[in-house]
Amino acid sequence: MTSLFVSGSGTGVGKTFVTAILINEIRRAGKECSALKPVISGFDEDNADESDTGVILGALGRDVTRNSVDEISPWRFREPLSPDMAAAYEGRSLCTKEIAHFCRTNSEPDSIRIIEGVGGVMVPLTNEETVLDLMVEVGVPVLLVVGSYLGTLSHTLTALQAVQDRGLTVAGIVISESLDNPVALSETQATLSRFAGEVPVIALPRLDSPGDDPGTPAIATEIGLL
């Protein structure tokens, strides 16, 4: 199994959008693909179709049912808060090792697995651990999704350093164009590339959908996943 952990510089930057692009690209290449969104906050059981889990199941060509939702997103919380807080609201807590175990199991040997994290690289999962600790425990390459808003350079390079300092491979950085975009995407890409060393930096313009827009970059190919 080949796996990729999709994280980002923060919440709402485009992780799910990029996850759906990756799934589409892998499936179009005729490869088996599985995807997980193990922890999701702000989840409304009555609107599961519109959740990250629903979008991911849609990209996989699967129906959104109680079973399929359980299968890819076992840790769901109602409050749209950091996972530790959202869990505490329900009198629950998360166990990083248990989530990591879930991320590593139940996959076909030949398939490619995409795991969408939650929030940014250092959002707390528990009182002591963040998503970064989970990524270390899972131990697969990380794709960083970031925005193109004013301030993204520092956020992105900080996230990049934090992940690399823990010994993880960063497979690539995808700049998903923000609604508020002060400079040309290509300029942000050029600047980040200068600081990112060997890590490929991919520019993703705003698209109507993560489906089959001809302007979609071949992200999986560019990061060597295919």
Ligand X SMILES: Nc1ncnc2c1ncn2[C@@H]1O[C@H](COP(=O)(O)OP(=O)(O)OP(=O)(O)O)[C@@H](O)[C@H]1O
Among 2, 11, 158, 164, binds ligand X (CB under 6 A): 11
Among 5, 7, 39, 52, binds Mg ion (CB under 5 A): 52
Contact of 3 with 81, CB cutoff 8 Å: no
Query: Binding of ligand X at residue 168 (CB under 6 A)?
Result: no
Interaction residues for ligand X, span 58-117 (CB under 6 A):
none
Structure tokens at 108: 């076909």
**Minimum CB separation from Mg ion for residue 194, in Å?**
28
Query: Binding of Mg ion at residue 41 (CB under 5 A)?
Result: no
Contact of 28 with 49, CB cutoff 8 Å: no
d(CA 202, CA 44): 32
SS3 (DSSP) at 206: coil
Query: Binding of ligand X at residue 36 (CB under 6 A)?
Result: no
Distances (CA, A) of 73 to 107, 124, 193: 15, 18, 34
Structure tokens at 185: 């995407």
Residue holding tokens 């300092």? 165
Q: Residue 97 catalytic?
A: no
* Residue 207: contacted member of Mg ion, ligand X, none (CB under 5 to 8 Å, by partner type): ligand X
Q: Which of 39, 35, 15, 38 is nearest to 27 (CA)?
A: 35
Q: Which of 99, 82, 127 is nearest to 36 (CA)?
A: 99
Query: Binding of ligand X at residue 122 (CB under 6 A)?
Result: no
Interaction residues for Mg ion, span 144-203 (CB under 5 A):
none
Query: Binding of ligand X at residue 206 (CB under 6 A)?
Result: yes
Among 3, 7, 9, 16, binds Mg ion (CB under 5 A): 16
Structure tokens at 29: 């290449």
Provide the H-helix boundaries in 166-222. 185-195, 219-222
Among 3, 7, 9, 13, binds ligand X (CB under 6 A): 13
Question: By Cβ distance, which residue is nearest to Mg ion?
Answer: 16
Q: Which stretch binds ligand X (CB under 6 A): 10-18, 28-36, 132-140, 186-194?
A: 10-18
Q: Which is nearer to ligand X, 32 or 205 (CB)?
A: 205
List residues binding ligand X (CB under 6 A).
8, 11-17, 52, 119, 176-177, 204, 206-207
Task: Tell me the catalytic residues.
Answer: 37
